[in-house]
Amino acid sequence: MKIAVCIALLTAMAGAALADEIPLVQRRSGYSFMSADTKAMQDEDTANPGMLSVLDGEALWTRKAGAANKACADCHNDARVSMKGVAAHYPAFDKALGKPVDLEGRINLCRTNHQQASPFAYESSELLALTAYVARQSRGMPITAGGDPELAPFIEQGHALFMQRQGQLNLGCTNCHDDNWDKKLAGSAITQGQPTGYPLYRLEWQALGSLQRRLRACITGIRAQAYDYGSPELVELELYLMTRARGMPVETPAVRP
């Protein structure tokens, strides 16, 4: 019954006129839509389950790996200094590749190019932990992604994907997160989809997860074929969403319902 109600509500949204982009003064983190109990869980590091992964990431930071027998710390020293503010401007343009890479992609490039190690699998505990540890160093800092002029065409492609209707429900991201935010869908709050806290601990997952995991879940929810992890489309969507959240503080590791 709940699935049927969700489909009916989403289908009704598909027919709604598109709203304008959310004004800067109205942009809100998903944190503001949460219950007091869930907010308290995020706010207190000893209660935040995502901090367990951050601790794992801290251990990985100093662990030597690959044929080069090097650790992240061998190049970047103390992450509390060298990684401060880094996550706030990702995805970033990679000149060698000629395209944007997200933070997970950058970590894997470092593993293959500098540690001469195999890349971590997407959604692996290692990649999530190291990403969360790096992003944790930017907590509280404003998101600055998208400032590089080289990123302009990729931001536009991400915006087009955000607006594009797809799947059996004929919905785009904008139908929920621009047109219907602060409403309810089957009893749950519809947020603005601001990516301020990834990787984050989602109570529904009972685990830490990446922004790409969340995007794939949304795409599957509208009965469309989800893009592969690491695909250009998901990175472009990430990039657009981060530029849409520009100026909002990083919350990693956030907690969400």
List the pLDDT tens digit at each of the 257 positions of the chain: 344 434 444 444 444 444 467 898 899 999 999 999 999 999 999 999 999 999 999 999 999 999 999 999 999 999 999 999 999 999 999 999 999 999 999 999 999 999 999 999 999 999 999 999 999 999 999 999 999 999 999 999 999 999 999 999 999 999 999 999 999 988 889 999 999 999 999 999 999 999 999 999 999 999 999 999 999 999 999 999 999 999 999 999 999 99
Q: What is the DSSP letter of 70?
A: B
Query: What pLDDT, on the 0 to 100 scale, is given for residue 20?
Result: 64
168: nearest Cα among 225, 231, 253? 225
Q: CA-to-CA distance for 83 and 78, rounded, in angstroms?
A: 8
What is this structure's pTM? 0.91
176 known ligand binder: yes
246 known ligand binder: no
Q: 19: helix, coil or strand?
A: coil
Hey, what amino acid is at 231? S
> Residue 102 is encoded by which pair of tokens?
């997200």
The answer to whether the beta carbons of residues 202 and 195 sit under 8 Å apart is no
Is 218 an annotated catalytic residue?
A: yes
214 known ligand binder: yes
Q: 223: helix, coil or strand?
A: coil
Q: Tell me the CATH architecture of domain 27-250.
A: Orthogonal Bundle (1.10)
Residue tagged active-site, from 87, 92, 190, 218:
218
Domain spans in the chain, listed from the N-terminal domain onward: 27-250
